[in-house]
């Protein structure tokens, strides 16, 4: 349940035949060459989710379903807040897929529209450059990822001269102000370069990331398990990978225009954007027919 959107936007239809944003991601992934999709979901949604997805995808791509539970990978002797019910965030979700992912893979959000070019770039990177010492992140242009309807959270990427990720600055409140981009931190406003590459949680990993994630998650739980809202995010793993010089993370740039739904007011823009792509012939009117 998206707190700012107010309902399950992952299964809401935005396409001309009520396709979800996730449908377009899977469609683009299949076209790019990917052969399996793993859904990380809450167990209570399993039947509803499979009823929606399986008729569309059967015979097109292999599917796996993984459940993310609060206690998964939590050491038996670790203390966690008894009032907590929500699992531990994006890196914890990825870790839950460890037993069904044995190949290089990408991670995406279900409610972000990434575009064909992003998936082509990700597939090429996974098949030619991704290994235990080099991961990848698909880099979107900041101004193309903002909402006209309010502030959003974005990970602004800093790169070295070789195009490798140096750091991700988490801007939890970043927004347009006229044609310029600003972010707030500790009650102060700062400008941000609208051309900066940003992370939209579109990562390329080898299976080696699971062992690293499990080690870091155990440390995270022992240090922060009693915090009610602490989350174990993918950038925590990525930052450790870089800072400990375990390898590099290549920023793979894409010119694709991201769009997504943070606020209810974003929905008409998403519908219009998809309709435009359909009219241009980039997608069929009925995606799975």
Give the model confidence (pLDDT) of 135-194 as tens digits.
999 999 999 988 888 898 888 999 999 999 999 888 889 999 998 999 999 999 999 999
| Integer Cα distance of 113 and 256 in angstroms | 10
pLDDT band at 260 (very low <50, low <70, confident <90, very high): confident
Identify any residues that bridge with 206 across adjacent strands, giving them in sequence order. none
**Which pair of tokens denotes residue 12?**
């809401």
Q: Within its chain, how far is the Cα of 67 from the centroid? A: 17
> Phi and psi of 214, rounded to 5°?
-65, -40
CA distances from 202 to 113, 122, 222, 273, 280 (A): 11, 8, 28, 20, 25
Quickly tell me which residue has 């379903």 as its tokens: 65
Q: Within its chain, how far is the Cα of 93 from the centroid? A: 11
| Integer Cα distance of 169 and 243 in angstroms | 14
Structural domains in the chain, CATH included, are: 9-279 (3.90.550.10)
Helix (H, G, I), strand (E, B) or coil at 177: strand
Identify any residues that bridge with 169 across adjacent strands, giving them in sequence order. 156
pLDDT band at 266 (very low <50, low <70, confident <90, very high): confident
| Integer Cα distance of 71 and 233 in angstroms | 16
Is the CB of residue 171 less than 8 Å from the CB of residue 153? Answer: yes
pTM for the whole structure:
0.89
Q: pLDDT, tens digit, for every residue of 193-241?
A: 999 999 999 999 999 999 999 999 999 999 999 999 999 999 999 999 9
Q: pLDDT, tens digit, for every residue of 113-143?
A: 999 999 999 999 999 999 999 999 999 999 9
| Integer Cα distance of 123 and 130 in angstroms | 10
The reported pLDDT for the residue numbered 184 is 96
**Which pair of tokens denotes residue 59?**
């015979």
Element (H, E) at 159: strand 152-159
CA distances from 53 to 41, 105, 168 (A): 13, 20, 33
72 pLDDT more than 50:
yes
pLDDT band at 9 (very low <50, low <70, confident <90, very high): low
Mean pLDDT of 52-80: 94
The number of beta carbons lying within 10 Å of the beta carbon of residue 93 is 18
The reported pLDDT for the residue numbered 95 is 97
Q: Which residues contact 253 (CB under 8 A, 6 or more apart)?
A: 121, 138, 139, 197
Quickly tell me which residue has 């309807």 as its tokens: 149
């Amino acid at each position: 349940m998206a707190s700012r959107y107010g309902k399950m936007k992952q299964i809401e239809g935005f396409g001309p035949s009520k396709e979800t944003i996730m449908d377009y991601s899977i469609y683009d992934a299949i076209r790019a060459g990917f052969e399996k999709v793993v859904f990380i979901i809450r167990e209570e949604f399993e039947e509803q989710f499979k009823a929606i997805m399986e008729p569309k995808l059967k015979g097109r791509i292999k599917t796996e379903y993984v459940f993310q539970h609060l206690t998964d990978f939590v050491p038996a002797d670790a203390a966690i807040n008894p009032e907590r019910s929500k699992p531990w965030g994006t890196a914890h979700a990825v870790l839950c897929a460890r037993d069904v992912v044995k190949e290089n893979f990408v991670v995406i959000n279900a409610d972000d529209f990434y575009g064909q070019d992003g998936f082509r770039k990700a597939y090429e990177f996974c098949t030619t450059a991704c290994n235990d010492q080099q991961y990848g992140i698909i880099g979107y242009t900041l101004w193309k990822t903002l909402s006209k309807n309010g502030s959003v959270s974005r990970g602004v990427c800093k790169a070295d001269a070789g195009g490798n990720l140096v750091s991700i600055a988490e801007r939890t409140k970043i927004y347009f102000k006229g044609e310029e981009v600003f972010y707030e931190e500790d009650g102060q406003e700062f400008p941000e370069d609208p051309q900066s590459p940003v992370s939209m949680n579109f990562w390329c990993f080898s299976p080696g990331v699971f062992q690293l994630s499990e080690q870091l998650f155990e440390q995270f739980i022992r240090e922060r398990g009693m915090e009610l809202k602490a989350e174990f995010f993918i950038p925590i793993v990525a930052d450790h990978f870089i800072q400990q010089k375990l390898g590099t993370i290549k920023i793979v740039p894409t010119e694709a225009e991201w769009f997504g739904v943070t606020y209810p007011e974003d929905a008409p823009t998403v519908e219009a954007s998809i309709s435009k792509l359909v009219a241009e012939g980039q997608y069929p009117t009925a995606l799975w027919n």
